[in-house]
Amino acid sequence: LDVGGAAPLSDVQRHCEALAEEPGGAPFAAAAHLLRWFASTQIRNGACLGGNLATASPISDMNPLLAACRADLVLRSAEGSRTVPAKTFFVGYRATRLEPDELVETIKLPKGRPFEFVKAYKQSRRREDDIAIVTGTLRVLLKKVDAGYVVEDACFAFGGLAATVKICDAAASALLGKPWSDETRDASVANLADEVRLAAEAPGGQPEYRAALASSFLKKFWTAVDLELGRPVAETEKSAALSFVDAPKPTTRGAQRWPVLDAPAKGLEKSYATLHKKDDAPLVAGNSAKHQAGLRQCTGEAEYADDAPLPPGTKHACLVLAKKAGRILGVDTSKASEIPGFVAVYGWDEVERGLPGAKNDLGAIVHDEECFATREATFPGSVVAVAVGDNPEAAKRAALACVVSVAEPTPAAPCSIDAAIAQQSFYEDTRHEATSREWTDGALDAAGLVRVSGEVRVGAQEHFYLECNTTLCVPQDDGGLDILSSTQAVAKTQACAAHVCGLPMHKVVARVKRMGGGFGGKESRSVFAACACAAASKLLNVPVRLSLERDVDMRTTGMRHAFVATYTAAVDPATKKFVGLDVQMYSNGGASLDLSGPVLDRALLHVDNVYKWPCLRARGVVCRTAIPPSTAFRGFGGPQGMVVTEHVVEHLAKVLGEDDGGTALREANLYAESDETHFRQPINTAAWRVPRCFERVRETSDLDKRFADVATFNQAHAHRKRGIAILPTKFGINFTAKFLNQGGALVHVYTDGTVLVSHGGTEMGQGLHTKVCQVVAQAFGVELSKVHVRESASDLVANSSASAASLSTDLYGMAALDACHQILARLEPVIADRKANKEPCDLASLAGAAFFRRIDLSAHGFHAVADKRCGYDWTKPQDDRGTPFNYWTQGAAVAEVEIDCLTGDHEVRRADVLVDLGCSINPSLDVGQIEGAFVQGAGWLTTEELIFAETGAQNANHAWFKAPSGTLLTAGPGNYKLPSFNDAPRDFRVELLDRADNEFAVHSSKAVGEPPFFLGAAVLFAINKAVQARREDLGAGDAYLPMRAPATPERVRMHCRDAIADDAVRALGRDPATWQANGSY
């Protein structure tokens, strides 16, 4: 096959697929299989092999294939052409034999020969649209002799093992003339392992895993060839040949089930006796409706902060960042001023001089940050100044031209929890403890109990909202500022911008129409960027726009907290009842406190999950480190606490010898309605439905049968294993800080019967505006299309809490309903008169009549959660601390996975998720929230890994990453991997619990944003069980496996503990029994 250097890869793929069916088609089949997984369809339509070859990426998929398959490259210049073997084309890192005046004209890929076998392999952090960790193409030519075969030619080519394509000539040469046999295979695997061994500090890290992958690919290849030749292969060994690369891309299916209402449900609002009632009013609140901006979002017509039309004269800003942590020695801006289009660079000195009354201190709770770092850069990425230019490129170039000099800290600041513990670097005010009434020292040491102790590690997670933080500041003629910002916290943005600019709050208006995702990352960490932009705008007195690029956003705004927990737990083996749990948790708070205290507190309040631990002591403290401040993220510490709990339950089940995966143990220890949590809140504070959810999902998922099916599958397959896990959850709804549990709304009724609503919440894709409109439409008896929310703004609803804690519908639905109630009360005389005269009483008729009677058709509504149902004060004695949660959102999930024990690849075969949402206001939106939360939760614990450089600490993680300590390696989509479509469950079934209500929220609904997130952890524990099954095959499965999260392909594969994995670990002088893959915690 002759391929033009510029031929689109999609065309190459189609030709290879056709040629694969012909004699000699093995190389083309391998190429077609690899190209299916290369990037995306859009990229394949434009990318070409010539470009792939010229860039000479050491982790290219196609370059090893061309080298292994004897391809030749025709290089063309003005002087003529020459032919170079692909095998010798690559001469170094990003270096080739291509001369400056040459281009790749043609790639000549020869067809295969009789008895020539070619297979391509690839392993990435996720299957789809991802660069390889290791990729390889293996080719062997056999000659038939007597009753068997001998090796006549071979080539093993790999990407991801060296600075260029790695051709393993020694291992291939050692095969020549050898019989194709199991003995030759074992020797070849050993030879290859010697040839691909990597140094401990090899660039890219993962030296043990990458070496093991190469040998694993060879084992897969050999088994696949044996099967094609018809050689005898043990039934259990056949699974070694399987690879996702050449398997059909799986299809997905889903099912959604929810109860259908015939009338609006009554919840907290049933005390509103004067609500307008109309027999033929449509059911709106409780009915599925499209997200009101959904179509515009899908077509690109929805306007975000980044899309807002720019006023004339707008300048553009870019943040000036410190590259390392330490004492700031100075900032040289001289080169920046030489950039064409340069306007200015402002640090705190310029802000302080130019804006009387300006203040530099910031912080979500404690003001321990600076808008512009003055004396110390507390982490790599600290904002030192803001550069302004006529256009975005000029601003970026100016920012990069600034030289920030930072002294090396002595000793180096800790970046990990381990280093922080060693240096005793803590935020001491966050050190909290919650204990059950029954707790006594020594309670877990009683005779006859089964005790376990261990450690749990859970990694951080990047929010990776689709829209990075963006701010547009426009000065006003009264000296104030109008701030359009992609923020979850309008009032916080207003207050902080006023603070930094030296303005009173009534001169600053902050607003947002919608965000392209938030997940908690724009609750407090959007503020510093808005303030920097506001200061520049105020100083210049011109509009200024600041839009963070993805890598800057990731380096500065923070992430979910990594946690490390140590535990001791005990169970009575006779009754299978839990006796107690003693847990100490540490979180990585980063360089400033932000919201780390409340996040840790919520972890402490959720570490019981749904189980009665009679003796429970939960302690925690936040670690101070030199990484970006960790912050709020969907679940707000609750998922980390519950992951710890479920590890403990799994550990106990393993030691007890439970053969049902811990299902019966969980069920036996669920809270009863009469129980009390360790933080002294009665379970019957709200209806307790976890036992019902657990039993229902166990039944609908057919768990017991599938558990047996998984065991049967695992017995039949040595190299593919399945796991299935069930997890329950309860998630407490409220801000634990009492003052935040309030919200306001403004409702205007117009004389045509339409309604405009403003409220303190913000829309980030979750459908809050749609739900509030449904509540208002139901109150007024109008169609949903008659109600609209334009934007969220501080001059419409003042002093709003951030849209967080899953509480927004509860607060703003009730606040809007309160406003409707006020208007409807004013309309009662009008309604009475019109009914007496038999005149229409639709809203338009009523509003028109009321206007002529001079009746106010606007109202400000307000709602606050009842005093006795919110607020938890850690400073008080435990019995006096209060009730943190208004109610629980509850649920359970079952997940089944299959892993490839030779590569660590996994797929989620099926997920069954059941959530108690009371009477949902919008079931279809809520199901979407559940599906998204589940996949995001699974991503946190599988594909998503944040990696920081760490130096100066003993056994520092990721020492290969030669960058200042605390620098984020995974700053962008190239290295940080969200779940792709292929990572969603193949069979995804979601159900809302029937016959459920909730008297403590609007229309009997329940919060949905965060609670289902933890259920994605069922994937982690299913993977753990699958790995454990492989370890048991190999005699290494007696002890509980404390799988660290995320369960990346590296961790999954290396924990399978076969000879290949163990040898790769031993080769670097480490003990396979105790070795763990590096991680940033």
Report the pLDDT value the prediction gives residue 953, as an integer from 0 to 100.
56
What is the DSSP secondary structure assignment for residue 738, as one 8-state letter?
G
Confidence of residue 409 (pLDDT cuts 50, 70, 90): confident
Judge whether residue 278 has pLDDT over 60.
no
Which helix (H) or strand (E) is 53 found in, with range?
A: helix 49-55
Report the pLDDT value the prediction gives residue 273, as an integer from 0 to 100.
47
Radius of gyration of the chain (CA): 31
Question: What's the pLDDT tens digit per position in 882-936?
Answer: 999 999 999 999 999 999 999 999 999 999 999 999 999 999 999 999 999 999 9
Question: What's the pLDDT tens digit per position in 694-708?
Answer: 999 999 999 999 999
User: What gap in Å lies between CA 415 and CA 588, rounded to an integer?
Assistant: 8
Q: Which two tokens stand for residue 452?
A: 């376990």
Q: Which two tokens stand for residue 511?
A: 């607003």
The proportion of the chain whose per-residue pLDDT surpasses 90, expressed as a percent, equals 95
Question: What's the pLDDT tens digit per position in 82-122?
Answer: 999 999 999 999 999 999 999 999 999 999 999 999 999 99
Confidence of residue 411 (pLDDT cuts 50, 70, 90): confident
Confidence of residue 272 (pLDDT cuts 50, 70, 90): low
Query: CA triplet 759, 764, 769: central angle to 5 degrees?
Result: 40
Are 54 and 81 contacting, i.e. CB atoms less than 8 angstroms apart?
Answer: no
Query: What is the rounded average pLDDT of the residues 191-209?
Result: 94
User: What gap in Å lies between CA 140 and CA 117, rounded to an integer?
Assistant: 5
The proportion of the chain whose per-residue pLDDT surpasses 70, expressed as a percent, equals 99
Torsion of CA 685, 689, 694, 699, to 10 degrees: 180
Report the pLDDT value the prediction gives residue 271, as an integer from 0 to 100.
65
Confidence of residue 960 (pLDDT cuts 50, 70, 90): confident
Predicted TM-score (pTM) of this structure: 0.97
Query: What is the rounded average pLDDT of the residues 854-862?
Result: 98
Q: What is the mean pLDDT of the chain?
A: 96
Report the pLDDT value the prediction gives residue 760, as an integer from 0 to 100.
98
Residue 1010 bears catalytic tag: yes
Nearest one of 944, 926, 954, 1034 to 983, comparing CA atoms: 944
Report the pLDDT value the prediction gives residue 845, as an integer from 0 to 100.
96
User: What gap in Å lies between CA 1067 and CA 209, rounded to an integer?
Assistant: 12
Query: What is the rounded average pLDDT of the residues 605-617?
Result: 98
Nearest one of 303, 302, 313, 321 to 545, comparing CA atoms: 313
Judge whether residue 274 has pLDDT over 80.
no
Confidence of residue 954 (pLDDT cuts 50, 70, 90): low
Are 926 and 285 contacting, i.e. CB atoms less than 8 angstroms apart?
Answer: no
Judge whether residue 279 has pLDDT over 80.
no
Q: Which two tokens stand for residue 663?
A: 């299902």
Query: What is the rounded average pLDDT of the residues 656-667?
Result: 95
What is the DSSP secondary structure assignment for residue 1005, as one 8-state letter?
B
Report the pLDDT value the prediction gives residue 910, as an integer from 0 to 100.
98
Query: What is the rounded average pLDDT of the residues 432-452?
Result: 96
Q: Is the peptide bond before 1046 cis (omega within 30 degrees of 0)?
A: yes
Report the pLDDT value the prediction gives residue 1050, as an integer from 0 to 100.
97
Query: CA triplet 910, 913, 918: central angle to 5 degrees?
Result: 165
Report the pLDDT value the prediction gives residue 958, as an integer from 0 to 100.
78
Question: What's the pLDDT tens digit per position in 8-34?
Answer: 999 999 999 999 999 999 999 999 999
Query: What is the rounded average pLDDT of the residues 351-379?
Result: 97
- C-alpha separations of 624 from 239, 598, 756, 972, 1051 in Å: 47, 15, 46, 25, 27
Report the pLDDT value the prediction gives residue 263, as an integer from 0 to 100.
87
Q: Among the options 944, 1010, 1032, 1050, which is catalytic?
A: 1010
